[in-house]
Chain A
Amino acid sequence: EPEVTQTPSHQVTQMGQEVILRCVPISNHLYFYWYRQILGQKVEFLVSFYNNEISEKSEIFDDQFSVERPDGSNFTLKIRSTKLEDSAMYFCASRVGSYNEQFFGPGTRLTVL
């Protein structure tokens, strides 16, 4: 069964450093998402991406964040200068088309020290 994959599973970084979280969505999917979940909190929407551009973004997704689909398979989330409060589980999700289920990857746990 096809699945969304994410690397790394755990990333530890120092405050102020840049991190790139990687996702490989399911191959025939067209819509891509990033969500985050701070430990003990709810899952929160960050951004959606379609046709090589951002469709929607939340208030969390400020200028420190960017997304890219560099090569037609990977979908990346970059945080330019990490803060302690960026520590969370980051989930990538993809969807094939309208009204279809979003499939979530296993997540990357980001720890900012």
Chain B
Amino acid sequence: RKEVEQDPGPFNVPEGATVAFNCTYSNSASQSFFWYRQDCRKEPKLLMSVYSSGNEDGRFTAQLNRASQYISLLIRDSKLSDSATYLCVVRGSGAGSYQLTFGKGTKLSVIP
């Protein structure tokens, strides 16, 4: 049973393109939701938290649908520097649980 599932990609897109990533999670009691970015052989870094109302940070927009247990990330005007693996991450299912559950990631390559 996959707790956090993502399309592994790779997504190869030209500079300037808009790209969308999707993620589903299995535990309806999950508390918080995030997108992390991981460059090759580096540590995960928080890109943005995801809220039910949807949230935007510059070129990045994240959406959460709790009823469908679905999370999305939209990247507009892709840059070469956006090339990385994008990890969908869910925080624990119990009060006081702060362990993070990661998806396997979606690899993005932005091509000149």
Contacts and interface: CB of A to CB of B under 8 A. Distances in A.
Nearest to A95: B98
B89 to A, nearest CB: 8
Given A43-B87, A56-B97, A106 B102 contact: no
How large, as a class, is the contact surface on chain A? Answer: 20 to 34
Interface stretch (B38-46, B63-71, B76-84): B38-46
A33 B92 CA distance: 13
Interface of A: 31, 33, 35, 41-45, 48, 55-56, 58, 89, 91, 95, 99, 101-102, 104-107
B102 A44 contact: yes
6 contacts: A43-B100, A48-B98, A56-B98, A102-B98, A104-B43, A107-B42
A33 B4 CA distance: 20
Contacts of A107: 42-43
Contacts of B97: 56
B46 A101 contact: yes
How large, as a class, is the contact surface on chain B? Answer: 20 to 34
A31 B91 CA distance: 14
**Shortest Cβ-Cβ A-B pairs, 9 listed:** A104-B43, A43-B102, A45-B99, A42-B104, A42-B102, A101-B46, A56-B99, A106-B43, A104-B44
Contacts of B100: 33, 35, 43, 45, 102
B34 to A, nearest CB: 8
Contacts of B105: 42
A91 B43 contact: yes
B32 interface: yes
B101 interface: yes
A45 B92 CA distance: 11
A88 to B, nearest CB: 12
